[in-house]
Structure 1
Amino acid sequence: MRTLCASTLIGEFFVIGFAGLVAMKDDSLSTSTVWWVCGVAMLLTVLLCGMLTRPGGVQLGWALQIGLVASGFFVPTMFFLGAVFAVLWWASCHYGAKIDEVKARWAAQAEAAEAAGAAGPEPEAS
């Protein structure tokens, strides 16, 4: 799950940066405000990559998705891009968890097969 979610977050890092460039063209927003908000959001995406396996990491990712969609009030394209990344986040969490289950099952089977092979008779020396 971590790999898929981290990939989504890195994609969001770039989208947030580009959205900041678009938001700078809005005369009602100050450049410093735009870059503070975008900078904090971009930093959050990078920090979340390392926090995904910790308690609350995925929930913080959902909060970021909500913030990304809400940023559409300032950059209208972000309604669409935020929704796309929210779907990608869901898919990363959902299918990543399934992949983790399969990996754990394969590891358990390999460990059981190794234990069964070690418990069997030893090969004869020639």
Structure 2
Amino acid sequence: MKILCSAVLGLEAIVVFLAIPVVATNGSVDSTALVVSLGLLLTVMLFLAVGALRRSWGLSLGWLLQVPVLAIGFLAPAMFIVGGIFTVLWYVAIHQGSRIDALKAERAATRPPLG
């Protein structure tokens, strides 16, 4: 599960980083410095969340970070779609990743010992 979740958060961080110039220049916000600062902060938080997946609260942080990604849609409406796609991917990564982990554990338990 952690591999799928890491991939989603990593790609999401890259997309948010690439969205910073779009949001900063579309005229919806007066302060370009504020947009760049908040965009970079969110990008860093998403990358840090990848590392936090090793902790018990890592998945919760991932869910929490979906909110500001979706909220970027108020500044650049296309980000509602992008944020929605990443939220769905996050959900799928958690649930399918858990399923895959359970299948791996079951297979490892039924495999005869080597040697």
Query: Same fold by TM (over 0.5)?
Result: yes
Compare 92-101 and 61-70 and name the one that shifted more.
61-70
> Which secondary structure state, in structure 2, belongs to the residue aligned with residue 24 of structure 1?
helix
Determine the structure 1 residue equivalent to 2:20. 20
Q: Which ranges of structure 2 fall in alignment gaps of 5 or more residues?
A: none
Whole-angstrom CA distance in 2 between matches of 1:29 and 1:36: 13
Determine the structure 2 residue equivalent to 1:35. 36
Aligned length: 114
Whole-angstrom CA distance in 1 between matches of 2:95 and 2:19: 27
> Which secondary structure state, in structure 2, belongs to the residue aligned with residue 20 of structure 1?
helix
CA displacement 1:32-72 (0-9 Å, x = unmatched)? 21111111111111111111131111111111111111111
Determine the structure 1 residue equivalent to 2:92. 91
> Which secondary structure state, in structure 1, belongs to the residue aligned with residue 91 of structure 2?
helix
Compare 18-27 and 75-84 and name the one that shifted more.
18-27
Q: Which ranges of structure 1 fall in alignment gaps of 5 or more residues?
A: 119-126
CA displacement 1:82-122 (0-9 Å, x = unmatched)? 00000000000000000111111112222xx21xx77xxxx
Taking structure 1 as the reference length, the TM-score comes to: 0.84
Q: Which residue type is aligned with residue 3 of structure 1?
A: I
Determine the structure 1 residue equivalent to 2:53. 52
Whole-angstrom CA distance in 2 between matches of 1:33 and 1:97: 38
Whole-angstrom CA distance in 2 between matches of 1:29 and 1:97: 43
Alignment of 1:74-85 (within 5 A): 74-85=75-86
Give me the CA root mean square deviation: 1.5
Give the structure with higher Rg (CA).
1
